[in-house]
C-alpha cells in the first residue's frame, strides 16, 4: 500500500485582547507524519488554553506533546488505526492529566491553571480517527471536489463563553470520538477564535467558501514553499479583516493528501 503524502500549513497567532493585556498566545498546535505498518499517518493537534487559567499556554503545549508522543509510540509498536477507540484516546489524555497534576503540585498551583481544550486527528490512507474536547472545530473532505464536513459541533459549557477542558476529571464525559472508515484527503483544525468565521451556525455545517479559499492553494503549492505559505497564513489570521471579527487567539492547521487523479475523478459531485 502506498503511503499518503501530506502537505500542511499551520499558524497560531495572539489575539488583540491578549496583545492589549500583555497576555501570551495560549493556543498551541502540532502537525506531522508518523510511520505505521499501514503507511504514513498524519497526526494533527490543536489546543486552546483557557483565558482565565494562568498556565494554560503551558497546558496546551503539554497536551500536544503528550498526544503526539503517544500516537508515535502506538504506531511504532505496530498499532492499527482501525483499532483505536475512545478508551485508548482517553488513556492518552489521562497521561497528560497525570503530568499536569505532578507539575501543578511541584509549582504549588492548581491543575485547573493548565486548563485547555483538545482537537485531534489521526489520518491514514483509508481511514481516520478524530476526537475533541471543548470548542474549536475539525473539518474534512474525502476528496478535493466534495463538500466539507464537520466532525463534531463545538461544545460549550454550562454558561456563555465557557467550554470543557481536557484537564477536568470528568473529561471523558465530554470526549467526542469518531472512527471513519473512509479516505480523508483534506482536513482542517481550528481553535474557537475563528470558528464563527469558519462555521455556519444556522446549518451547523462548515462555511464552504472559507475552506474553499485555502485548500486549492495548498494543494498546488510545492513542498519547499510551504513555510512561506504558513507565514502568509499567520499574516492573514492577524490581519485587520480577521481582527475586526474576533479578538481571541487564533489557530488554523490545514493539510492535504496527495491522492491520485483517478480518485479525484470518482468524486460524487461538485462543492457548493
Q: What is the pLDDT of residue 265?
A: 39
Q: What is the pLDDT of residue 272?
A: 53
Q: What is the pLDDT of residue 157?
A: 55
Give Cα 247 distance to the centre of its chain: 20
Q: What is the pLDDT of residue 156?
A: 78
Compute the distance between CA of residue 130 and CA of residue 152 in angstroms, rounded to an integer. 9
Nearest residue to 52 (alpha-carbon basis) of 137, 112, 102: 112
Residue found under cell 498526544: 67
Domains of the chain: which residue ranges?
6-265
Class of domain 6-265 as given by CATH: alpha beta
Per-residue pLDDT in tens (0 to 9) along the chain, 272 residues: 344 489 999 999 999 988 877 788 999 999 999 989 888 999 999 999 998 899 999 999 999 999 999 999 999 999 999 999 999 999 999 999 999 999 999 999 999 999 999 999 999 999 999 999 999 999 999 999 999 999 999 987 554 456 999 999 999 999 999 999 999 999 999 999 999 999 999 999 999 999 999 999 999 999 889 999 999 999 999 999 999 999 999 999 999 998 653 344 334 344 55
Q: How many CB atoms lie within 10 A of CB 3?
A: 16
Q: How many CB atoms lie within 10 A of CB 261?
A: 6
Q: What is the pLDDT of residue 19?
A: 82
Pairing of strands 39-48, 118-123: antiparallel
Q: What is the pLDDT of residue 246?
A: 92
Question: What residues contact 210, with CB distance under 8 A and at least 6 apart?
Answer: 197, 198
Q: To 5 degrees, how large is the angle CA 218–CA 222–CA 228?
A: 70
Compute the distance between CA of residue 259 and CA of residue 143 in angstroms, rounded to an integer. 8
Compute the distance between CA of residue 268 and CA of residue 161 in angstroms, rounded to an integer. 38
Which residues, in sequence order, are bridge partners of residue 149?
Answer: 140
Half-sphere exposure of 249 (CA within 13 A, CB side): 27
Helix, strand and coil content of the chain, in percent to the nearest 5, comes to 35, 25, 35
Amino acid at each position: 500500500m502506498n503511503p499518503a503524502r501530506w502537505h500542511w500549513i499551520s499558524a497560531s497567532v495572539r489575539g488583540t485582547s491578549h496583545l492589549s493585556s500583555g497576555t501570551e498566545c495560549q493556543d498551541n498546535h502540532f502537525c506531522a507524519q508518523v510511520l505505521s505498518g499501514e503507511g504514513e499517518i498524519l497526526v494533527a493537534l490543536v489546543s486552546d488554553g483557557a483565558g482565565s487559567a494562568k498556565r494554560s499556554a503551558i497546558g496546551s503545549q503539554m497536551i500536544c506533546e503528550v498526544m503526539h508522543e503517544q500516537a508515535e509510540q502506538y504506531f511504532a509498536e505496530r498499532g492499527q488505526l482501525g483499532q483505536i477507540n475512545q478508551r485508548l484516546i482517553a488513556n492518552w489524555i489521562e497521561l497528560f492529566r497525570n503530568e499536569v497534576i505532578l507539575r501543578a503540585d511541584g509549582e504549588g498551583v492548581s491543575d485547573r491553571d493548565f486548563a485547555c481544550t483538545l482537537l485531534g486527528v489521526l489520518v491514514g490512507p483509508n481511514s481516520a480517527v478524530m476526537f475533541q474536547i471543548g470548542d474549536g472545530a475539525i473539518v474534512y473532505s474525502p476528496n478535493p471536489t466534495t463538500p466539507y464536513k464537520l466532525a463534531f459541533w463545538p461544545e460549550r459549557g454550562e454558561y456563555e463563553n465557557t467550554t470543557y477542558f481536557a484537564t477536568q476529571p470528568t473529561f471523558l464525559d465530554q470526549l467526542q470520538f469518531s472512527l471513519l472508515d473512509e479516505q480523508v484527503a483534506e482536513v482542517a483544525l481550528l481553535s474557537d477564535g475563528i470558528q464563527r468565521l469558519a462555521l455556519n451556525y444556522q446549518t451547523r455545517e462548515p462555511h464552504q467558501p472559507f475552506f474553499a479559499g485555502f485548500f486549492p492553494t495548498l494543494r498546488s503549492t510545492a513542498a519547499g514553499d510551504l513555510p512561506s505559505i504558513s507565514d502568509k497564513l499567520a499574516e492573514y489570521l492577524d490581519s485587520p479583516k480577521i481582527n475586526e471579527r474576533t479578538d481571541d487567539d487564533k489557530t488554523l492547521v490545514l493539510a492535504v493528501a496527495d491522492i491520485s487523479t483517478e480518485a479525484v475523478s470518482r468524486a460524487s459531485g461538485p462543492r457548493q
